[in-house]
Amino acid sequence: MTLSVPTPRHFIDLWRMDAASLRTILDDAHARKAARLGWGKAAVDADAPAKDRTLAMIFEKNSTRTRFSFDAAIRQLGGASIIANASDMQLGRGEPIEDTARVLSRMVDAVMIRANNHDDVERFAQVATVPVINALTNRSHPCQILADLQTFEEHRGPVAGKTIAWVGDGNNVCSSFIHAASQFGFRLTIACPPQYHPDLKDLARAADLGAKVEMTADPRAAVEGADCVVTDTWVSMGDTDHDQRLAAFEPYQVDEALMALAAREALFLHCLPAHRGEEVTDAVIDGPQSKIFDEAENRIHAQKAVLAWCFGAIG
């Protein structure tokens, strides 16, 4: 007799997920946030979908928001966490990823990974028998985009049909916005220097899926009439061409003049950490259109919904 093992619900990239599941996750994030208004930060949600469950968190790169928000998230769901920097694990001494995945699958109920190489997360997930969550790689940052969309929707209503403008580097965060455009039905306009364009495979897939994703080198054209303006650091973790980047991105700073071209009610978002005076001015990031701290807080709520989905509690 062969026992069939159900495939775990991995959360690796938004383009791999079906739109209905993603909508369910985002709705759950909104509902969980609303349900605990006024509660203490350590109070456990009424349904406690992670009761008796442990989340492992592995970091190959630095993190503030992701580390604290996932730890807070699993606790608010009634579960526990184990956190490790990859360099402290045998992984850092060359133990195969697949062996690490098989071992941790015996010890915890889900694994969150922030990795240098996206392919390592894919390899981990291929053999893991518990859900694996991408907490940022060189190629994508799906958890961040859920928090961003939650932030947009709580201030401006459904994101479907709206326009989000991305200004700056066509990096990992930009890629996840491209993945989200088809799934959530918003228009994405990207302004980047030609040499720092997003992954062409992501753009081609988005086009195949019928997403409205446009690219230009002109930040003013991208921002024109947009409902939300988003940027990110010009030098991501792992980038080595610091000086060339600063020179190439200089015309892409989000300042008040650029924001003035967006819709009157446009929001400003940034995943953080920010470099004030580089990709964004103080006046914009600390101004009335900026919702960056709601966005940071929403990492908790959005990731709770992701965890609830991974554990089969929703969707």
Is residue 49 within 8 Å of 78, Cβ to Cβ?
A: yes
Contacted by 172, from ligand NVA, ligand CP, none: CB < 5 to 8 Å by type: ligand NVA
Q: Which helix (H) or strand (E) holds 167?
A: strand 163-167
> In angstroms, what is the minimal distance from the CB of 272 to ligand CP?
5
Structure tokens given for 4: 């069939």
Structure tokens given for 221: 């054209």
Is residue 115 within 8 Å of 57, Cβ to Cβ?
A: no
Active site residue 155: no
β-bridge partners, 294: none
Active site residue 276: no
Q: Which of 266, 235, 267 is nearest to 252 (CA)?
A: 235
User: Binding to ligand NVA (CB under 6 A): which residues in 11-70?
Assistant: none
Contacted by 64, from ligand NVA, ligand CP, none: CB < 5 to 8 Å by type: ligand CP
> In angstroms, what is the minimal distance from the CB of 302 to ligand CP?
12
Number of residues that bind ligand NVA (CB under 6 A): 9
Residues 6+ apart with CB under 8 A from 58: 84, 85, 86, 89, 91, 111, 112, 113, 114, 115
User: Does residue 163 touch ligand NVA according to CB under 6 A?
Assistant: no
> In angstroms, what is the minimal distance from the CB of 4 to ligand NVA?
38
Is the CB of 166 or the CB of 311 nearer to ligand NVA? Answer: 166
Backbone φ, ψ for residue 229 (5° rounding):
-120, 130
Instruction: Out of 73, 104, 130, 136, name the contact with ligand CP by CB under 6 A.
Output: 136
Is the CB of 110 or the CB of 269 nearer to ligand CP? Answer: 269
User: Binding to ligand NVA (CB under 6 A): which residues in 124-143?
Assistant: 136
* Active-site residue identified among 10, 67, 299, 301: 299
Q: Which of 308, 314, 313, 295 is nearest to 141 (CA)?
A: 295
Q: How far apart are CA 22 and CA 15, in angstroms?
A: 10
Binding residues for ligand CP, rule: CB under 6 A, are 63-66, 136, 144, 271-272
Binding residues for ligand NVA, rule: CB under 6 A, are 136, 171-173, 232-233, 236-237, 271
Q: Catalytic site residues?
A: 114, 141, 144, 232, 271, 299
